[in-house]
Amino acid sequence: MAFLNPLRVVQIGTGSTVHAAPVAEAVRQLPERYQLLGIVETDPVQKLAAERKTAFQGLPFLSSAEAFALQPDAFLVETDELRLVPTAIRVLEAGFPVFMDKPGSGSSADFHRMCRIAEEKRLPFATGYMFRGNPAIRKALEMVKGGLLGRIVSFEGQMSCMGDAGYHEKLRRFPGGMMYYLGCHIIDLMVSFCGFPDQFLPLNIATHACGVDCKDHGFCLFRYPDAFGFVKTSASEFNGFARRCISLAGTRGAIEIRPLENPVGNGCYTAEIRITRNNLHPYAEGGESVTFPPFRRYDVMMTDFADYVQGKKENPRSPAYEADLHDLILAAQGDSNAQTDGEITFSFFQKKTQEKSPGVMMSCGKQT
């Protein structure tokens, strides 16, 4: 199907706990690629709040019927987390491509149903994991794909913050707490670099730091044939934003991105990647550092999505891949009680498909 530029889209939802406003801002700042026709917001309280935000000012608010009657080229689904998948299913069943915020439903069955509809109808589908457009991440993926780090033997990632009591109350809505809410971003990166693990061990707890019973501190170990990974995420960590990072160690080199992004104002970020590919003194400073110019989180992803819808580019992450990734996120959000006879045990992770990780040639121990 051929489309003329710009792509005509409607956004459903202005969710306060997803990145609804940044996504709207991104497409409005890409006028050569997008025309945002309007916003659907069924919650009157949320609609009133959205009307005051710069991202939505000047845009018409539509009913669902009005939105579908416009026959847009695609929909952007930015409802609150618990309504993402049901909304995306309705849009896909009507025959429209979907960009959906992360991480989706708490139900594996619902998420797989959504992905099957996208595949059966051959509709472009993408999810909003915000680091997929990060230039430092893309550079690191190129290096791994090119074998410059050799075989990856370890992955480490953190994504934390210091949340107030209100933030912790929001986390109570999710059985997986922070591992579901923010840890999903790092799991997404780990799988992009290393493929899907063979085993996992979730160690998620409630610290009750704000007097709220939620899993505000998440940690999960992942085991590969000849490697390991871990993901840590906390809503109770001072200076957690500055320690958001990933590091990869391979048989030929290592990289570190810390922080994952550094805000520089006007909705822009910079990122720096440190690359070490020689045997330095254990405590010596060395290696190569590459700093990337300011970028906006969603510009690259929304440009990619426009390309997917217009047939200019194929999405390297198929709906089946997204379904497997979602299953791993759900597995990682488990309790820290996986014990047998007093011993902590790993659980096995079984993919439902044979999808490969995007662009990764040398994964953790085997091809995936």
The number of angstroms, rounded, from the C-alpha of 117 to the middle of its chain's C-alpha atoms is 21
Q: Are 326 and 116 in contact (CB under 8 A)?
A: no
DSSP state of 10: E
Q: Which region among 186-190, 258-262, 285-289 has the lowest average model confidence (pLDDT)?
A: 285-289
Query: For residues 351 and 332, what is the distance between their CA atoms, to the nearest angstrom?
Result: 14
Same fold, 7-127 and 134-298+327-348: no
247-251, 301-305, 329-333, 353-357: range with lowest mean pLDDT: 353-357
What count of other Cβ atoms lies within 10 Å of the Cβ of residue 59?
Answer: 17
Extract the tokens encoding 156.
């480490």
Report which of residues 27 and 16 the model is more confident about: 27
Kindly report which listed range (45-54, 106-115, 117-126, 283-292) carries the lowest average pLDDT score: 283-292
pLDDT for the residue 360: 47
290-327 burial: b if 16+ Cβ within 10 Å, else e:
eebeebbbbbbbbbbbbbbbbeeeebbbbbbbbbbbbb
Reported as a pLDDT band with limits 50, 70 and 90, residue 344 is low
Q: Is the predicted pLDDT of residue 242 greater than 90, yes or no?
A: yes
Going from N- to C-terminal start, the domains of the chain cover 7-127, 134-298+327-348
Domain 134-298+327-348: top CATH class: alpha beta
Name the DSSP class of 114. Answer: H
What are the pLDDT digits (tens) for 151-202? Answer: 999 999 999 999 999 999 999 999 899 999 999 999 999 999 999 999 999 9
**pLDDT (mean) for 263-270:** 93
Q: Among candidates 30, 120, 117, 36, which has minimal Cα distance to 73?
A: 36
What does the block give as tokens for 164?
């107030």
Whole-number percent of the chain with pLDDT over 70? 89
* Fold (topology level) of 7-127: Rossmann fold (3.40.50)
Instruction: Determine the pLDDT at residue 323.
Output: 95
Please say if the pLDDT value at position 367 is more than 50. Answer: no
> Residues of the chain with pLDDT > 90: what percent?
82
Q: Which residue has the higher pLDDT, 100 or 337?
A: 100
pLDDT at residue number 172: 93
pLDDT at residue 234, rounded to an integer: 98
The whole-angstrom separation of Cα 125 and Cα 308 is 8
CB 206, CB 236: distance < 8 Å: no
Q: CA quadruple 237, 20, 157, 255: dihedral positive or negative?
A: negative
Question: What is the reported pLDDT for 366?
Answer: 46
Condensed to tens digits (0 to 9), the pLDDT of residues 215-234 reads 999 999 999 999 999 999 99
Q: Could you tell me how far CA 278 lies from the centroid of its own chain?
A: 32
The whole-number average pLDDT for the span 348-365 is: 60
What pLDDT, on the 0 to 100 scale, is given for residue 282?
Answer: 64
| Residue 145 three-state SS | helix
pLDDT at 105: 85
The DSSP line for 192-234 is HHH---SEEEE-BB---TTS--S--EEEEEEEETTEEEEEEEE
Residue 70 contacts residue 10 (beta carbons within 8 Å): yes
Per the prediction, the chain carries an average pLDDT of 90
Would the pLDDT of 12 be above 90?
A: yes
> Tens digits of per-residue pLDDT, 300-335?
999 999 999 999 999 999 999 999 999 999 999 985
Structure letter (DSSP) for residue 2: -
Judged by average pLDDT, the poorest of 28-42, 114-128, 241-255, 280-294 is 280-294
